[in-house]
């Protein structure tokens, strides 16, 4: 019993730690989450957590087994059928922003147990694979700028807006 | 590999006689026996994840300081053609209608072969396969002969034709200078929102690729393209449809191209005078079993 209580407390602390801005949806679940992992190129996303909860009801669709929701993926269920709510439920609590640094690669390789969670996407991909995958299925918005407007840095790298190519390239050989 | 490169150097330096001897010693080494450097890095490309956003093309352009593109990188009209890599674009994303309502995107760039045909075919020894896995080249020694362009089974090396008097080879270098040599992932891998590309030790990626198939056998065809193709490539692919439906050569040989071209190489100095014949010959060998290879058709009318 004590153990369960402790786990719950840990769980709530985890959720609290995840808060970026919040008007509470029950026990510390944020209504809005600001996602700014690619602010070099895009404006932050103010993610309407509350609306998604209302629509989907099932926390496990995004949070896997971590909120204690029943997992349906048979690969996950092998271990997490009854593993209960976890201390960490936020995306960035498990999905690292820099998945391919030498340290991250080593950690991924050496982790225990050595079989599972090896193929865990980085934070940016965790968002996109989860959000876009679902939006495609549920006919939600799927364009890059439907969720995050590109900023100046983004226009610069995409050669768009004021950085758009001036004229169609002429073969330079003509100068010779 | 070192031996082979030295052997090629020999060809160049000493001409036909020395070269012929070297060919003999080259033969003693079984082709395809080179397993690659143990810590060589690679990239596992999962075509099922790509959404065709072209961020990778944009990142490559910036990282490699390539010339301005003809169209912005958010312009999707480019998907009406099957593009190939050029001197201005070391990577391109193409779109394939694989079923009635299903499209797949495929990013093309150098696959960084374990035993690269470009390297074997280059008689000025411009190419190097680094221990990190990259196939890089020294443009300063390139004489623009285009042997590598013909030898490459994936039609990757492009030439800077904008400089007609001094055309030099241009291709993806796995971001070697700016990233890979410091253990960092390439720019295209870094920017991809979907982590289509997983960067890691090639040996680990082979396992990861097979694990991904095993965990989801209904989603993937049971093949890791590049694990064996042409003796193995550093960039490997997973797909939900047969690879020839997305522009890969599904019947590509498992032996490195070097086994085909090495006999030719000994004669390179001699055949310099019969240039067109050499090209036809190497081309035929390099494209053996290539019937219906999409890339090739596309490459031809570029
Ligand atoms: S950045 Fe990734 S998702 Fe976008 S086109 Fe390139 S490989 Fe596909
Ligand atoms: S590895 Fe580097 S050079 Fe090659 S396609 Fe990616 S960004 Fe371009």
pLDDT tens-place string over residues A37-70: 888 999 999 999 999 999 998 898 999 999 988 8
Give burial (CB, 10 Å; 0-12/13-18/19+) of B65.
Answer: exposed
Q: Does residue A49 sit within a domain?
A: yes
Residues facing B129 on adjacent strands: B135
Distance CA B159, CA B145 (A): 10
Q: Which of A109, A119, A172 sits opposite B212 (nearest CB)?
A: A119
- Which pLDDT value is given to residue A111? 79
The C-alpha of B81 sits at a distance from chain A's nearest C-alpha, in angstroms, of: 17
Computed over every residue of chain A, the mean pLDDT equals 81
Binary contact (A122, B71; C-beta < 8 A): no
Binary contact (B49, A124; C-beta < 8 A): no
A24 is annotated as contributing to ligand binding: no
The answer to whether B242 and B290 have CB atoms below 8 angstroms apart is no
User: Please, which residues 22-61 of chain B have a Cβ atom closer than 8 Å to chain A?
Assistant: 49, 51, 53, 55, 58-59, 61
Q: Measured between alpha carbons, how far is residue B112 from residues A75, A103, B42, B85, B172 in Å?
A: 33, 24, 8, 14, 9
Q: Is the pLDDT of residue B24 over 50?
A: no
Pairing of strands B41-46, B235-238: parallel
- Which pLDDT value is given to residue A27? 61
- Which pLDDT value is given to residue B1? 40
Q: Is the pLDDT of residue A8 over 80?
A: no
The C-alpha of B132 sits at a distance from chain A's nearest C-alpha, in angstroms, of: 13
Give burial (CB, 10 Å; 0-12/13-18/19+) of A94.
Answer: middle
The answer to whether A132 and A140 have CB atoms below 8 angstroms apart is no
B91 CB less than 6 Å from ligand 2?
Answer: yes
- Which pLDDT value is given to residue B22? 38
What's the whole-number mean pLDDT along residues B161-174?
80
Q: How many domains does one find in chain A?
A: 1
- Which pLDDT value is given to residue B14? 40
Of all atoms in ligand 1, which is nearest to the CA of residue B194? 3
- pLDDT-derived band at A16 (thresholds 50, 70, 90) equals very low
The C-alpha of B266 sits at a distance from chain A's nearest C-alpha, in angstroms, of: 35
Q: What separation in Å is there between the alpha carbon of B60 and the centre of ligand 2?
A: 5
What domain range includes position A116? Answer: 2-160
Q: Which fold has domain B41-118+129-258?
A: Alpha-Beta Plaits (3.30.70)
Distance CA B229, CA B114 (A): 10
Q: Does residue A52 sit within a domain?
A: yes
Which of A132, A70, A67, A54 has the alpha carbon at shortest distance from B48? A132
- Which pLDDT value is given to residue B5? 41
Q: Is the pLDDT of residue A176 over 70?
A: no
Q: Is the pLDDT of residue A1 over 70?
A: no
Binary contact (A101, B184; C-beta < 8 A): yes
Q: What separation in Å is there between the alpha carbon of B63 and the centre of ligand 2?
A: 8
Q: A166 contacts in B (CB within 8 Å)?
A: 68
User: Pick the residue with more confidence: B249 or B264?
Assistant: B249
Q: Does residue A168 sit within a domain?
A: no
- Which pLDDT value is given to residue B262? 52
Q: Measured between alpha carbons, how far is residue B51 from residues A160, B46, B195 in Å?
A: 19, 11, 11
User: Pick the residue with more confidence: A20 or B287?
Assistant: B287
Using one digit for the tens of pLDDT, what is the confidence trace for B128-140? 999 999 999 998 8
Q: Is the pLDDT of residue B149 over 70?
A: yes
Binary contact (A125, B192; C-beta < 8 A): yes
Q: What is the largest CA-CA distance in chain A?
A: 84
CATH for A39: 3.90.10.10
Does an H or E element contain A135, and which? helix A123-138
pTM value is 0.79
Computed over every residue of chain B, the mean pLDDT equals 80
Binary contact (B72, A109; C-beta < 8 A): no
- pLDDT-derived band at B260 (thresholds 50, 70, 90) equals low
User: Pick the residue with more confidence: B152 or A117?
Assistant: B152
Residue nearest to atom 3 of ligand 2 (CA): B172
User: Pick the residue with more confidence: A93 or B38?
Assistant: A93
Using one digit for the tens of pLDDT, what is the confidence trace for B92-130? 999 999 998 899 999 999 999 999 999 999 989 999 999
Q: Does residue A37 sit within a domain?
A: yes
The C-alpha of A139 sits at a distance from chain B's nearest C-alpha, in angstroms, of: 15
Q: What separation in Å is there between the alpha carbon of A152 and the centre of ligand 2?
A: 23
Distance CA B255, CA B288 (A): 12
Residue nearest to atom 6 of ligand 1 (CA): B56
Binary contact (A101, B199; C-beta < 8 A): no
Q: Is the pLDDT of residue B237 over 50?
A: yes
Looking at residue A138, what DSSP letter applies? Answer: H
Q: Is the pLDDT of residue B168 over 70?
A: yes
Does an H or E element contain B169, and which? strand B169-170
For residue A40, the chain B residue with the least C-alpha distance is B191
Query: What's CA B202's distance to the chain center, in Å?
Result: 15
- Which pLDDT value is given to residue B211? 93
């Amino acid at each position: 019993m004590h153990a369960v209580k402790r786990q719950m407390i840990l769980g709530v602390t985890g959720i609290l730690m995840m808060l970026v801005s919040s008007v509470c949806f029950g026990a510390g679940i944020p209504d809005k989450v600001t996602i700014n992992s690619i602010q070099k190129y895009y404006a932050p996303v103010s993610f309407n957590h509350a609306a998604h909860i209302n629509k989907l009801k099932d926390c496990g669709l995004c949070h896997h087994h971590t909120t204690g929701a029943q997992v349906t993926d048979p690969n996950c269920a092998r271990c997490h059928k009854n593993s209960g709510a976890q201390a960490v439920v936020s995306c960035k609590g498990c999905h690292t922003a820099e998945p391919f640094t030498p340290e991250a690669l080593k950690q991924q390789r050496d982790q225990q147990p050595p079989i599972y969670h090896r193929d865990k996407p980085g934070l940016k991909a965790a968002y996109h694979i989860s959000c876009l995958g679902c939006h495609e299925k549920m006919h939600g918005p799927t364009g890059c700028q439907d969720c995050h407007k590109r900023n100046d840095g983004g226009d610069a790298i995409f050669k768009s807006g004021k950085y758009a190519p001036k004229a169609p390239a002429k073969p330079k050989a003509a100068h010779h | 590999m070192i031996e082979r490169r030295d052997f090629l150097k020999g060809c160049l330096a000493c001409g036909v006689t020395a070269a012929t001897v070297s060919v003999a010693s080259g033969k003693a080494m079984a082709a395809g026996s080179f397993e690659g450097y143990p810590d060589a890095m690679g990239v596992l490309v999962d075509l099922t994840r790509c959404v065709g956003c072209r961020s990778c093309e944009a990142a490559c352009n910036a990282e490699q300081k390539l010339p301005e593109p003809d169209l912005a990188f958010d312009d999707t009209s480019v998907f009406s053609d099957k593009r190939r890599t050029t001197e201005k674009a070391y990577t391109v994303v193409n779109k394939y209608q694989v079923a009635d309502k299903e499209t797949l995107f495929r990013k093309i760039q150098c696959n960084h072969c374990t035993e690269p045909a470009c390297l074997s075919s280059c008689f000025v020894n411009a190419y190097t396969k680094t221990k990190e896995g990259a196939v890089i080249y020294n443009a300063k020694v390139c004489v623009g002969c285009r042997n590598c362009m013909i030898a490459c089974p994936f039609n990757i090396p492009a030439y800077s034709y904008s400089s007609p008097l001094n055309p030099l080879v241009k291709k993806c270098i796995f971001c070697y200078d700016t990233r890979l040599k410091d253990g960092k992932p390439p720019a295209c891998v870094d920017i991809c929102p979907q982590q289509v590309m997983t960067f890691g030790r090639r040996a680990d990626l082979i396992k990861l690729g097979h694990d991904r198939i095993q965990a989801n056998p209904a989603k993937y065809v049971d093949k890791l393209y590049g694990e064996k193709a042409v003796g193995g490539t550093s960039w490997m692919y997973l797909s939900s449809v047969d690879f020839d439906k997305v522009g890969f050569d599904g019947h590509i040989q498992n032996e490195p191209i070097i086994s085909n071209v090495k006999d030719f190489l000994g004669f390179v100095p001699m055949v310099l005078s019969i240039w067109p014949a050499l090209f036809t010959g190497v081309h035929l060998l390099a494209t053996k079993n290539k019937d219906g290879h999409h890339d090739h058709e596309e490459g031809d009318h570029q």
